[in-house]
Amino acid sequence: MKPVAWLAGAALAGLIAWWAWPRGPAVPEAQAAVQRGAHLALPAAPASAAASRPQGSPFTDAALRERLAQRDLLLQRLERARQTLALYRDQTRYPHESRPIAEHPDQVHPFAPIRESLPLRFPGSKGAIPGVRILTTQDRVFMSGEEVVKVSVSAQDEAGKTLPLLITRAVAFDLPDPRQAAGRPQLALDFSGSEGVYSAQFQPSRTAFADFAGTLRLQVTLSQDGRQGVINFDVVYQSLVPAEWGAISDRVADGSLDFVVGLNVKQAGRYVINARVDDAKGQPFALVSFNEELGSGAQTAHLRVFGKLLRDGAPAMPLRLRDLQGFLLLPDSFPDRAMLARREGVVYKSGSYSLKGFSDAEWTSEERNRYLAELGKDVSQLEAQIKPPGQ
């Protein structure tokens, strides 16, 4: 907003707020309405608006209602501005790279298979076959090098009872991509069944797709009691494995606990790495991450458990680093990543440290200061617009 317009607007809003400001308990009522979720509707006209209008008021009833609506909007803007500031201030007590695991509910077990419940149908049909759900699992989407994807499929009725199922066709093929030569032959997939659950593995590096980079679709045609449908599993494959994991150590640095993860980087670039931190009892505690540029050769990625997070959460020591994963981010391309091999399970245990040895100071940074200043300014400016002169 241009400064002249802002100053004029602020002055006008201040005048309106001063004139329209009710004496008495109206403000708490308006704020309560905001909390209830009242949403920007104009207040209804009073039964006898003329009678409620202050004597000598230069405004019509409609103008009064308009000013009240504007004041309500200001209050709601103030409420959102306060929420925005409070959220930011509260969450950034810890850095973005060192978070309570509770904030990341679907990242606690990143290698658990993706489970979905899907209708039995063919594409293009508006409806699905009633009474049949197809349950699928897939243990990864993004994969590189020698990785293997495992998938499974089964059928259930609405009560959860497994239904007989036939796989009539299962093939792997590449999805169209202008960067890839088209026309690679489809590959047949082998599914094996046990108690109604069929599973298969697919390793692109051992197939004609070894040098492929893009989306591979595993397409399965199903027949449940003669009723047919199709299920697709997609994986995004990139043959490049950009780095190898090295040794892990830990150390106290800047009042925090750093897990120092060694890497032998074959291709330099931005690496995105994360892992879970469990306490000594195996309770998930934190998600730690790294997202920075690395050069080639021997490198380290520091996964920091922030001091205040340790002090506030007081996990039982020693801490366990679990389910380490990472990839090289390939900007503005597809696939957008080349994966490192998964490190599943507990990959490292820290030393046993006294929690008092860690800092309980909140995170500080230029980024946080910038945000708190701007979001705080928004709140104070709105408060100034709402606050009547002289109060």
Residue list 292-321, contact with other proteins (CB under 8 A):
none
**Using CB under 8 A, which residues numbered 27 to 56 contact other proteins?**
37, 40
Residue 103: CB atoms within 10 A of its CB come to 11
Residue 380 binding other proteins, by CB under 8 A: no
**Using CB under 8 A, which residues numbered 229 to 258 contact other proteins?**
230-234, 236
Query: x-or-dash pattern for other proteins, window 326-365, by CB under 8 A?
Result: ---xxxxxxxx----------------------------x
Task: Count interface residues toward other proteins (CB under 8 A).
Answer: 72
Output 344 or 374, the one with its CB closest to other proteins: 374
- Residue 244 CA to residue 140 CA, distance in Å, equals 19
Q: Give 347's contacts (C-beta < 8 A, 6+ positions apart).
A: 248, 275, 321, 322, 323, 324
Residue 111 binding other proteins, by CB under 8 A: no
Which H helix or E strand runs over 35?
helix 26-36
- Residue 385 CA to residue 12 CA, distance in Å, equals 9
> Which residues are bridge partners to 115 per DSSP?
137
Q: Closest separation between CB of residue 236 and other proteins, Å?
A: 7
Output 230 or 252, the one with its CB closest to other proteins: 230
Q: Closest separation between CB of residue 1 and other proteins, Å?
A: 6
Q: Which of 30, 64, 71, 121 binds other proteins (CB under 8 A)?
A: 121
**Using CB under 8 A, which residues numbered 84 to 103 contact other proteins?**
84, 87-88, 91-92, 96-97, 103
β pairing state of 149-156 and 162-163: antiparallel
Q: Closest separation between CB of residue 192 and other proteins, Å?
A: 22
- Residue 311 CA to residue 307 CA, distance in Å, equals 6
What is residue 11's three-state secondary structure? helix
Q: Is 72 left (phi over 0), alpha (psi -120 to 50) or beta?
A: alpha
**Using CB under 8 A, which residues numbered 194 to 223 contact other proteins?**
215
Q: Which of 146, 244, 312, 374 binds other proteins (CB under 8 A)?
A: 374
